Structure 1
Amino acid sequence: MSVAAADWLPAATVTASGRAVLSAGEIERHLLPLVDLEPEENPRLAPLHGCLLALTSHRLVFLHEASLSARALPLASIAHAYPPHRRHNHNPLRSLFSSSSSSSSSHHPRIRIQISLPPSRSEVVAVVVTCKADVDVFYGRLLEAIRARAWEATASAAPASGAPVAEGAAPAEEDLAIRMPVVGVAGILRKEQETWESAGQNLQDAFQDLNALMSKAKEMMELAEKMRQKLLTNSSAQSNSNDEEMGSKQDMQDLLLSVGIVSPVTKETAGALYHQQLSRQLADFVRVPVERAGGMMALVDVYCLFNRARG
């Protein structure tokens, strides 16, 4: 069944090299090279066969590489995901006379998913993993993405009333520690405990600062990607601008290029598809620099630009 037939799922945009186009803030989490999507209860839902499945922080994207088309299942519509299992056929006569495709499909790991479809109906579908892959790892990352709810995450500011309380409490503890004499074994143990508590607090504060820095860096990456797309759109629409405006756009594009790729392909997320997906991401990335360079670039320059963008 073609991807276009599964009109009960929203369509997803695909790049020219065959990768799913990610939205702002969306990150690729895992790839499975060959899966099927089959309805468990409603036969009116058209199935999908032979798709590359991309798990992102927002969606399950089923990509049909031959037709460069894709359908997406938003993670927000998933009510529950059941652990992987294999369908066992208890009727020997049915298994004897069943078709080879259905019998082979029944032996593949299946992840049953309960989803909500508009307007207000619940369906159960199954992701059938027909390739050699660690299904438990994929299931774990699927649960992590669902629980993270990155599609609705917003930056939460720390309460202003919490900081003065902590600052006011710290001097009292320090004064108390100074007044307590360090005498004997008990004093040495108390001093050691205070040192460990202070080190633990410093480590916790450092990790909080690191998490804040990472969240801000993610926001800056999203902003840079939006600005880059807007600049590319404006540059194609306004080709008769003067040299000064073109120079400023060139400087801005160079600055945004140094920020990097929002969701680079890694071995952890792509697995066996690492080299294939990396080459496709390179093809998508190098298109704009090559066009700006007049249609030709040295391989060394491409290598430097791409690796700088990957970080």
Structure 2
Amino acid sequence: MAAAGPWLQPAELTTSGRPVLLQGEVERLFISSIDLEAEENPNLPSLRSGLLALTSHRLLWIDDTSRYAHSIPLEAVIHAFPPKKSIRSMFASPRIRIQVSASRDGKVGIGGSASSMVITIVMRGGKNDPEAFFGKLWEVLKLRSWEVKEVKEKENLGELGVSALGEGPSRVRTAVVGVSGILRKEQEMWESTDKSLQEAFQDLNALMSKAREMVALAEKMRQKLLSGSSAQANPSDEDLGSKQEMQDWLLSVGIASPVTKESAGALYHQQLSRQLADFVKVPLDKAGGMIALIDVYCLFNRARGTELISPEDLLQACVLWEKYEVPVMLRKFDSGVMVIQSKAHSDEEVFARITNLAQKPDALRKGISPSDAALTLGIAPTLAKEHLINAESKGLLCRDVSPDGFRFFVNLFKEFDPTNMFSVKDDGFCKAWLSAATVASA
């Protein structure tokens, strides 16, 4: 943990270095080369040259090299001071100061804070726009998204209280009598419709908040399903089928806060690469550790909803994995087919399964096709064909090309003695092949 731990709250990161978002939290802006300083208290250590993420709930400072992060809850921000404009500021790094509530020992927090302190956000490098960052920060502070849940709870309690007093649905209504009663009823209906429309469409952020709540609920259900499947020793086929169907549905719900060029700016491909590394872990587990790049493109764009990315952006994000410590990698076969592969994936294990398949009696006589290997490995036929060609390059298989397509046989040439080509060993693949051919001809 960094030295700033005593005065800033720690924040959790994913395996790729992305911040773990809270329920309903959405990323708003990313800027790099940021220092955090407590100018009023020089005894508190500063944070140097990190990534600053502004979300709807927090300010997150992330150290990419050491993989730790700290957060400042926006609920603790009392005031934000705009950047100063002066001749002196033109030759210095832009600074934005925020006043936050703190405890007596200088720890930034919310609720029960006895004092306040000023934190300075220093923008190094000259690539960041302080005016744009302050505008976005001020906009997020005015929205106060972290209070949405509290307000809803109060509204629910208020509705219950009104109903209990007889002012809700159980109250006694006046009778609808005559023309005036009909007009009054018509007016009430129009007022109710107008109120419903205003509440539904007056604030787009409220609609987005509803969508984020559904995504968060789906993620919670997915984690519960995964933990439940690992805890259950012998699940039935019906349970496995229902869980698989539920996981496929949850995968289509989407990503709660997709990285966009508007929020990430110059860090777009970097943050997209990290988010993609987190996203592909579940599809890779389901696909046996390897999945075609085109399939990832479809799955990732479906999860992002309307925030679609181009194939070039996806490829660039995958290439950046070489610079980061992530558990996945981009692989290109000799044929040009590109796949995303888990670093835990073992080619030797795949070769062993293919070799076992090729030694079966039917395979010794007829060979195996990419479709046969796909059924055994549980992957797409295109990827199975690449594995077969790769096994051929290692000397494990031999290829036969016919009008019916590719067929692969176990390599029998290694069984022959170069000094005596007509001798057959008593054991090995050649003996098994002769036995299978004899049975077939009988």
Cα distance per residue 1:160-210 (max 9 Å; x no partner): 97999xxx99947x99xxxxxxxxxxxxxxxxxxxxxx9xx9998645323
Local SS of the residue matching 2:303: helix
Which residue is 2:281 aligned to? 287
Which residue is 2:12 aligned to? 13
Cα distance per residue 1:210-254 (max 9 Å; x no partner): 356544333222211221222233334445433322222111111
Matched, 1:208 2:202: no
Distance in 2 (alpha carbons) for counterparts of 1:238 and 1:144: 47
Which residue is 2:374 aligned to? none
Which residue is 1:310 aligned to? 304
Which residue is 1:251 aligned to? 245
Amino acid at match of 2:94: P
Cα distance per residue 1:256-288 (max 9 Å; x no partner): 111110001111111111111111111100011
Distance in 1 (alpha carbons) for counterparts of 2:182 and 2:168: 13
Matched, 1:138 2:137: no
Which residues in structure 2 correspond to 1:1-311 (within 5 Å)? 4-7=2-5, 8-85=7-84, 107-118=92-103, 120-131=114-125, 132-154=127-149, 155=152, 156=155, 171=183, 206=197, 208-210=199-201, 211=203, 213-238=207-232, 240-311=234-305
Query: Offset of 1:53 from its aligned partner?
Result: 0.3
Give me the TM-score of the superposition, normalised by structure 1: 0.76
Of 117-126 and 298-307, the range deviating more from structure 2: 117-126
Distance in 1 (alpha carbons) for counterparts of 2:279 and 2:67: 18
Root mean square deviation of aligned Cα: 3.2
Amino acid at match of 1:58: H
Query: Offset of 1:23 from its aligned partner?
Result: 1.1
Give me the TM-score of the superposition, normalised by structure 2: 0.54
Change (3 A) 1:235 1:294: same
Indicate conservation of the 8 Å contact 1:87/1:110, yes or no.
no
Give ranges in structure 1 of 5+ residues lacking alignment. 90-102, 176-197
Indicate conservation of the 8 Å contact 2:23/2:213, yes or no.
no
Indicate conservation of the 8 Å contact 1:86/1:109, yes or no.
no
Change (3 A) 1:135 1:41: same
Indicate conservation of the 8 Å contact 1:225/1:262, yes or no.
no
Distance in 2 (alpha carbons) for counterparts of 1:75 and 1:280: 24
Identity, % of aligned pairs?
54
Which residue is 2:334 aligned to? none
Indicate conservation of the 8 Å contact 1:35/1:49, yes or no.
yes
Change (3 A) 1:141 1:203: farther
Cα distance per residue 1:19-70 (max 9 Å; x no partner): 1110111100111011000111101111000100000111110000001111
Amino acid at match of 1:111: I
Larger radius of gyration: 2
Indicate conservation of the 8 Å contact 1:86/1:107, yes or no.
no
Query: Offset of 1:296 from its aligned partner?
Result: 1.1
Change (3 A) 1:142 1:205: same
Give ranges in structure 2 of 5+ residues lacking alignment. 105-113, 174-179, 306-442
Count of aligned pairs between the two proteins = 269
Change (3 A) 1:202 1:245: closer
Amino acid at match of 1:22: L
The higher-RCO structure (CA 8 Å, 6+ apart) is 1
Indicate conservation of the 8 Å contact 2:78/2:99, yes or no.
yes
Local SS of the residue matching 2:253: coil
